Amino acid sequence: MHEIKCPKCGEVFQVDESGYAELLSQVRNEAFEDELHKRAMELEEKNKNDIKMAKMEQEKNYNAALTNKDKVLAEKDMEIQQLKNKLEMNDSQQKLAVTEAVSGKDKELAEKDAEIIRLKSQIDNQKNESALKEKNLEENYKNQLKLKDEQIEQYKEYKARQSTKMVGESLEQHCQNQFNSLRMTAFPNAYFEKDNQVSESGSKGDFIFRESDPEGVEFISIMFEMKNEMDTTASKHKNEDFFKELDKDRREKGCEYAVLVSLLEIDNDFYNNGIVDVSYKYPKMYVIRPQFFIPMITLLRNAALNSLQYQKELEVVRNQQLDLVNFESNMQDFKDAFGKNYRIASEKFQTAIEEIDKTIDHLEKVKKALLSSENNLRLANNKAEDLSIKKLTKNAPSVRQMFDELDREDKGENQLPEE
């Protein structure tokens, strides 16, 4: 199982080996489809944006002119109202001056009306200019579409000329020359050579393209097969006749993509419109005309470069999982060895405990014997201390008499002599 971390949300999920391979394939296919779709939509999006910007500029100018006109009219109405107020407030002596002022104001109003007319004319001119600009953009867009159609026709004519030229020239040699002319500038680190190694099934492709990053990690590999009109028989082979063998060569040589560069079915519009994706029959397989040989390599290579970072991240995850497996294996070996030593030590420890218990039992018996001996000695000592001559000679009068005499003699000897 593989753990993959989403670069946007940070969520970690697990996929198996097949899911991992499918995910990697989807990343590359999506990058490739995005690259093709981006180029097709780029011109149309640019023209739409130009038309939109022109309309926005026209509306902006028109609104600005209307705003200016409303402002002028408002100022004129305000000035007229001020004059009316003055007429109502002033007496007859001021009427003449007011009349003159009104006359001057009428002249000024006339000038303002002329200005308004001029502004309206300017707005109309801007409208006409914007309409003309919009029309020019539409014409430009139509001209670009026409140019595109002309380029398509030129490609078709070029294709026809190339087909005639390649009757006498090997298609393999032509493609090799095209690549070698750009090898040092566009593909300095790429491998592009004839496939001279025959597989176990006895087949081989024409050319193999491989490229690796500076760290030596291969990120793109393509198996090429070239078929021109000279390869056909009277029965007129079709491109589809070579799909199965090309797919087998791709898998046996460990290539990611398979590309058939073909001049077969020269009148078939399905193959004449550009790069044809036939992965609905065989995975990662394309059919192209010779003029798309270099663009095909470029598109696949750029798509692979875009997904290389994701591939490296997946490789890091795979290595981390391998390290984790090795760590768990080392931990299990340590647990087994530790468990074995612990079991042996535990058995010996139990034996030692049993021997200690036996020794303790023996010492307890010795202790009891010693305690019993001490008690007997104490009793004997007590009896010895209680022993006297009187008790010994209680039943022996003659022996007692002897002790009495000895006692008297000792006392006599101990008396001092008289002077």
In tens digits, what is the pLDDT along the chain, a chain of 419 residues?
Answer: 556 666 667 676 676 777 666 666 666 666 656 666 676 677 677 767 877 787 788 778 777 777 877 787 778 778 777 777 776 776 666 666 656 766 776 777 777 778 778 877 887 887 788 788 878 878 887 887 787 677 666 655 655 555 544 544 578 888 999 999 999 998 988 999 988 777 666 677 789 999 988 888 888 999 999 988 654 455 678 899 999 999 999 999 999 999 999 989 888 889 988 899 999 999 999 999 999 999 999 999 988 888 887 767 777 777 777 766 676 677 677 667 767 776 776 677 677 777 777 777 777 777 777 777 667 777 776 766 665 666 666 666 776 677 677 777 766 655 545 44
In this prediction, residue 354 carries a pLDDT of 77
Asked if residue 175 lies in contact with residue 190, where contact means CB atoms within 8 angstroms, the answer is: no
Residue 112 parent element (H or E): helix 95-168
Q: What is the DSSP letter of 282?
A: S
pLDDT at 168: 41
Q: Which fold has domain 171-313?
A: Trna Endonuclease; Chain: A, domain 1 (3.40.1350)
Stated as kind and residue range, the H or E segment containing 38 is helix 17-89
276: enclosing H helix or E strand: strand 276-277
For residue 264, count other CB atoms closer than 10 A to its CB. 20
Whether the CB-CB separation of 302 and 33 falls below 8 Å is answered with: no
Domain borders along the chain are 42-168, 171-313
Residue type, 371: L
pLDDT for residue 182: 92
Q: What is the pLDDT of residue 73?
A: 76
Place of tokens 């101990």: 414
Q: Residue 79's pLDDT is what?
A: 78
pLDDT confidence of residue 416: 47
Q: How far apart are CA 152 and CA 326, in angstroms?
A: 58
Residue with tokens 């020239």: 169
Beta bridge partners of residue 193, listed in sequence order:
208
The single-letter DSSP state of residue 212 is E
